[in-house]
Chains A and B, each alone.
Chain A
Amino acid sequence: MGGVSAPGGPDPRPQVSPGADGGGVVDGRRCRSCDEVSAFAWPACPACGGAVDPASFGPFGTVWSATVVRIPVPGRPPPYRLAYVDLDDGPRVLAHVVTDPTADRVLPAPVGGRVRLLPTTDDGDLLVEVVPA
């Protein structure tokens, strides 16, 4: 999935720290006022503007939806798998999904299935693996 051309400026994607057993956790925020969770270290709550505290989310979550991008995007050779993942008790994040190199055809991750967040790719993308049911 590599080969992203590196645009200038700070990386806007969520930051991931190492978790237990080789997993990863998102370094996000939780709102003191409305309890909204966010995957980003933004200065205020995106829902209410309230003050936020650091909070970690993951590594486990459920796939809300998933797709495979089959068109070229600059720096990203297709196909690649994407999923919106609802981290347990945490925010919804966009993540790439580990591809099984032995699969005949790259298919979307199963919607409703369980996944585990891993450390980011070398390119800085969030990455999840499907957890066997």
Chain B
Amino acid sequence: MSTVSVHGVGTSHFGRQPERDLVALAWDAVREAFADADVTGVDAVWVGTVFGPPGVAQRVLRAMGVTGIPVITVENACASGTTAFLEAHEAVRTGRYGRVLALGIEQMSTAFAGAITPEPTDPEGRSGLALPALYAMAAARYLYDGAVTPAQLAAVSVKNHAHALHNPRAQYAGHHTVEEVLGSRMIADPLTLLQCCPTSDGAAAAVLAPASGGSREVGVRAVALRSGAPWNHRSPHVWGHDVVRDTAAEAFAAAGLDAVSDLDVAEVHDAFTIGEIVTTEALGLVAPGEGGKAAESGVTALGGTRPVNPSGGLLSRGHPLGATGLAQLAEIVWQLRGEAGRRQVDGARLGLVETMGGGVSVLDGNACVVAVLEAP
């Protein structure tokens, strides 16, 4: 068994890029990751994608000469990229392969004009439950319970759009006010347009290999994955809370984390504003019911005591589904190396990645991945 490090990361730009194909997007990410790791090849590849057509992994990899080795494609909704990372990590840890590439790719702009079309073979998808509506249900319940205010929901969007001002790869960035966020077009009550992630194209990649003590290697302390259990009237929590909590508990135990407060920086799944609030509570980064207040008061902002989504998150960096988990990972690697520029969390030593996949009715998420990473 080996201790595993991330030796290199890379990403494309994130945004609507219908004129670029997945070969070009993946090349941006892989070329940068290989250069970052100072390698020219790997022994195996795990690829995460949700809407990529059959054969898409081999199609993009052969265009860059990554051929003749095992290539495995995984799909776990929005957590597909981090699922590829988890599998790549396990392959290196157990010695199955020496050096492995985890790659996430997604092109959304050519597939959907707006929100993802609800999946018609799923009962709730067939009923018209677009993903913004699923998160809107959580937000409406939080409002009913008095666990958040509309201004606190909006504060997540304000914060993450401001973070992205310092991320040149981000799809959107801006100085928004709470009033602007709440006044933007209603998508699914109570979530307005600026509380929803955009339609994004992009790719992100990481090279994993046994730790060798290199000065730029970011250690993988632990990574865990769970799929959801039934979510229903018996749960006191909103959709997604319990699977995040349970996956995090497994990852934190495996990482030997003394306290969640030891984490210096986190990239979490803020596909919608309420998602970041629920997730920061489920992870234990903030106390139950304090997620909204933490966003409003600056606790989870850059410069706060619990900085969350310094990259701009899914809300602003963008959310190309299969690429998202590895984009989150790349941000944490840069943060832990001190390479994050003007969005750097000073002295970050321990970082967290959390990705949440949805879209399977009755389940509390179809996959959640939590990873804990450590500075060189």
Contact = CB atoms under 8 A, between A and B. Distances in A.
B137 A84 contact: yes
A84 B230 CA distance: 15
A91 B189 CA distance: 24
B132 interface: yes
Interface in B324-365: 361-363
B123 interface: yes
A71 B130 contact: yes
**Interface secondary structure of B, over-half rule:** loop
A12 B123 contact: yes
A70 B138 CA distance: 17
B230 A46 contact: yes
Given A12-B122, A91-B233, A111-B140, A70 B189 contact: yes
Contact of A82 (B117, B123, B127, B233): B127
Contact of B189 (A14, A108, A126): A108
A66 B133 CA distance: 9
B224 to A, nearest CB: 22
Interface in A37-91: 38, 40, 46-47, 64-74, 76, 80, 82, 84, 86, 91
Contacts of A94: 123-124, 127, 129, 361
B123 A92 contact: no
A128 to B, nearest CB: 12
Chain A contact-residue range equals: 35 or more
B137 A80 contact: no
B118 interface: yes
Interface residues of B, number: 36
Interface in B143-170: 144
B141 A65 contact: yes
Contacts of A108: 140, 189
A7 interface: yes
B118 A111 contact: no
A65 B140 CA distance: 6
A38 B185 CA distance: 36
Contacts of B189: 67-68, 70, 107-108
Interface in A1-27: 4, 7, 9, 11-14
Contacts of B118: 73
A65 B238 CA distance: 10
Contacts of A64: 137, 141, 233
Interface string B282-297: 0000000000000000
Interface string B112-130: 0011011011111011111
A12 B126 contact: yes
A92 B363 CA distance: 12
A88 to B, nearest CB: 10
Nearest to B231: A92
B26 interface: no
B141 A73 contact: no
B120 A7 contact: yes
Contacts of B71: none
B127 A92 contact: no
B115 A73 contact: yes
Given A36-B230, A47-B229, A70 B127 contact: no
Contacts of A76: 128
B107 to A, nearest CB: 19
Given A66-B137, A66-B140, A96-B127, 6 more contacts: A11-B126, A40-B123, A67-B137, A68-B186, A111-B141, A112-B144
Interface of A: 4, 7, 9, 11-14, 36, 38, 40, 46-47, 64-74, 76, 80, 82, 84, 86, 91-92, 94-96, 107-108, 111-112, 124-126
28 contacts: A4-B128, A9-B121, A12-B121, A12-B126, A14-B123, A40-B123, A46-B362, A47-B229, A65-B140, A65-B144, A65-B238, A67-B136, A67-B189, A68-B186, A69-B133, A69-B188, A70-B185, A71-B114, A71-B132, A72-B114, A74-B117, A82-B127, A86-B233, A94-B123, A94-B127, A94-B129, A94-B361, A111-B141
The 6 closest A-B pairs by CB, nearest first: A7-B120, A67-B136, A65-B141, A111-B144, A65-B137, A86-B233
